[in-house]
Structure 1
């Protein structure tokens, strides 16, 4: 006997127990695909900087914080790529790598905004979202994709999908220890 606010328990469909329901992988797959796109954007930014360095000028001539920023983009892109591939292959470590890569990419964007703009971060992000050139579009894509990857990778359904393993079915004719 239940009260007026108690729902009747729903019985599982025939042949399916409630514990054997497979979680949806939508958040994990979307996070992996967005992670791939963010990895491309994070790798595109330093490549355009490297190609824009004039001849006779080397990386050693750049200020230390600029090198840290370029390293943040490259490492963030690599970690995002590995995390996306790991998530596609249903490894729990893939989601953790996606979270770490998104944080690295966001950190690289914030470091660059403090290095470039002396008037504040707002002027930097206005120029990035102005989309006046291709590197600005890559940075704008990274500004949008990194937080999305971070949130989607950290959601509980992502981890429940990645941790779920299908129950082992005994081969035909095999007996369990207590069954004769």
Structure 2
């Protein structure tokens, strides 16, 4: 939500997509999220790239001696993968690495976050991949789509959305340092025309 407030064109496009898909029914239907909301899926994917839920993935242990980037890694060495840095690596993401641009994933471009592309591992990979990935995605996509369907959002006291503070606090999980304060305005359909006021 914070990234969309900072990028009003992204917010406008995602909101229009959600309302086009679900406004007639008046509510978001869970089984239609993936098919009817491709842009919202891109927004979630780009958010996971820039703000992985777990910046440092669970520790791994090297099972056999190997060489990584010219360094010898002996058997038994504990290795911690920096998922946050992988999502910002300029070799893997050469086009505006630090910018929030969901369009980078359009038309199948970009990496998959399900553990097959090692430049994008917000949920880890292999046997230690997050078992709650599907649950976590549903708990982001469904409420986000509902919030965009029923409300218009603005950040009070912020004149230029580009200056919105996205500084992250240090911890086990990724979170914004500053509290996110937004003002919703309810969209109410008029009874006779079905138009939204």
Fold equivalence (TM over 0.5): no
TM-score (norm 1): 0.26
Task: Report which structure shows greater RCO (CA 8 Å, sep ≥6).
Answer: 1
TM-score (norm 2): 0.25
Which entry has the higher C-alpha Rg, 1 or 2? Answer: 1
Give 1 or 2: higher helix fraction.
1
Give 1 or 2: higher strand fraction.
2
